[in-house]
Amino acid sequence: MQNSPNIPVQPNCPDRRRTQNAVVIWCRDKLARYIFLAVAFSATASLLLIALFILKEGVPFIIKVGLKSFLLSSEWNPAAEKFGIYPMIIASLWVTLGAMLIGAPLGVAGAIFLTQFVPRSIMRIIKPMIELLAGIPSVVYGFMGVMVLAPFIRNYLGGPGLSLLAGSIILGVMVLPTVISISTDAINAVPKTYLEGALALGATRWQSVHMVILKAARSGIIASIILAMGRAVGETMAVIMVAGNAVRIPHSALDPVRTLTANIALEMGYATGLHRQALFATGVVLFVVVMILNSLAIAAMKRKTGN
């Protein structure tokens, strides 16, 4: 019998394709990993460069003038080389405090209402609408404050209208989306068994929310308030438009004031020399304040998650 010719054995095609697909997926995963890593490092590098630039421009001025003279002096007169930001620090604190007295209770109350007292279908509609408020430009809030709020304050409460009170109300409205959104997520993260257990023990709906849900979500709610406070401290345009921009220590909620951010925005366009360095030093003060607030918020979030 004649021997059959040697026929080469063909490789298993399905196995080969699976190997190729695995290699492609591995390469894609590696590429995506490096891309996301580069994006993360670019954001960190940008923040670091901004911080270094502000510190480079502002710290020499603080060393030259003295921290005490810069922070605790009440006279701001760049023409006479007097750079005291104490009135603006007080104004920033009062405006932020007023905004939180308005925004924090309303925001937490709104979060409780959305999560505990309305159907889920309605919450899914209302919550995105509230979050859209964060996308409205601050100049629109400022315009509404100038056209509606300031005349109302002037006609019914007295004063010039453009005042600490107007700034606090506008900022209180602007921080509402932050407080409501994060507080809602914190409350929704509480296990349903907590509420069910409280109701099973005979507590009313409000008692269960007040004594159980809010206590369990406390860290997240505190974090939302701290982040909203950072938003209020850093707001510029709306405050410029409604606060009055008077460099003086306020003695009433109806007095016009100038915040730290407003001072930088108003004078940076024409500042030179020591004046420009003083504005950068003001930026250093704001940078430190915002970093402290963000650190507190991160600590509160870690406490919430238990990490």
pLDDT in tens, 257-299: 999 999 999 998 888 889 999 999 999 999 888 888 878 777 7
**Token code pair at residue 108:** 């937490």
Q: In the chain, at which residue ranges do the beta strands (DSSP E only) sit?
A: 76-77, 82-83
pLDDT of residue 7: 47
Which tokens belong to 90? 């007080």
Query: Which residue's structure tokens are 């040697």?
Result: 6
Q: Report the largest interatomic distance among the alpha carbons of the chain, rounded to a whole angstrom.
A: 119
Which DSSP helix (H) or strand (E) runs through 77? strand 76-77
Q: State yes or no: pLDDT of 143 exceeds 70.
A: yes
Query: What one-character DSSP code corresponds to residue 81?
Result: T
The average confidence (pLDDT) of the chain is 86
Among residues 117, 99, 119, the alpha carbon closest in space to that of 109 is found at 117
Categorize the per-residue pLDDT at 20 as very low, low, confident or very high, splitting at 50, 70 and 90.
low
What per-residue confidence (pLDDT) applies to 303?
Answer: 65
The secondary structure of residue 157, as a DSSP letter, is T
From 14-18, 20-24, 206-210, the region with the lowest mean pLDDT: 14-18
pLDDT above 50 (res 9): no
Is residue 246 over pLDDT 70?
A: yes
Q: How confident is the model at residue 14 (pLDDT cuts 50, 70, 90)?
A: low
CA nearest neighbour of 107 among 195, 186, 163: 186
* CB-CB contact of 255 with 164 (8 Å): yes
State phi, psi for 257 to the nearest 5 degrees. -140, 165
- Give dist(CA 289, CA 71) in Å, integer: 13
Say if CB 243 and CB 258 are below 8 A apart. Answer: yes
Average pLDDT over residues 51-59: 89
Percent of the chain with pLDDT strictly greater than 70: 91
Q: Which residue has the higher pLDDT, 239 or 14?
A: 239
User: CA separation (Å) from 8 to 11, 95, 148?
Assistant: 9, 84, 88
Percent of the chain with pLDDT over 90: 44
- Looking at residues 124-150, what average pLDDT do you find? 89
- Residue 244's beta-bridge partner residues? 257
The 10s digit of each residue's pLDDT in 91-117 is 999 999 999 999 999 999 999 999 988
Question: What would the two tokens of residue 12 be?
Answer: 């298993």
What mean pLDDT comes out for the span 125-141? 87
Which residues, listed in sequence order, are joined to residue 77 by a DSSP beta bridge? 82
- How far is 268 from 307, CA to CA, in rounded Å? 42
Question: What is the pLDDT at residue 33?
Answer: 84
> Per-residue confidence at 1, pLDDT binned at 50, 70, 90?
very low
Q: Phi/psi zone of residue 158: left (φ > 0), alpha (ψ -120 to 50 degrees), beta?
A: left
Helices 86-116, 164-174: crossing angle, 10 deg rounding:
40
Q: Which domains occur in the chain, in start order?
A: 70-305 (1.10.3720.10)
**In this structure, are residues 166 and 160 in contact, taking their beta carbons and an 8 Å threshold?**
no
Could you report the per-residue pLDDT of 145-172, keeping only the tens digit for each?
999 999 999 999 988 999 999 999 999 9
pLDDT given at position 32: 81
Can you tell me which residue has the tokens 């209302």? 126
54: amino acid identity, one letter: I
